[in-house]
Structure 1
């Protein structure tokens, strides 16, 4: 798998991690919380494994942030239309996840 392909896959995994993290805090169904938390952990675990395949420079990280942002916005626009999330919160969560992932 080439670096571009891994970058695309990694952005999907991180977007799903962040979406599930947001949904844990916003869900009105307590019975859904444990499933959402499990999904968040699973996506993060897969993202960590993928991130170790390459070294990521600042340009890669910038592309990754843009792709993650688009994918998260798309999820909330099309699948979770009743959940409102600020752009600032999304940016903060993306920065947190990337810092955790790449130890930056």
Structure 2
């Protein structure tokens, strides 16, 4: 009986892998889109698990130029997401915002 269960489980796994959509999401735990619940940034396509004001954490977009930001954290929960590629999170007038390092300083 145990062998039959093992064989059936293996067949189910092979069938699932054979017919999966290669364009589909990574799964239920990784490759999450904006707005989906997350536990850490590595689950999100954007790598930002946003948790403002102790709400439920959701995947958020990376911050654009001029938007508030936080530098990368160890815990992977952010009040403001890190900057998009090519931008730096710098303090300007006591607020951290994304700036282009090639632009002249404020």
Does the TM-score normalized on the shorter chain lie above 0.5?
no
Structure number with bigger Rg: 2
Q: Please give the TM-score of this superposition, normalised by the length of structure 1.
A: 0.22
- Quick check: which one's helix share is greater? 1
Q: Please give the TM-score of this superposition, normalised by the length of structure 2.
A: 0.22
Per chain length, whose mean CA-contact separation is higher, i.e. which structure has more relative contact order (CA < 8 Å, sep 6+)?
1
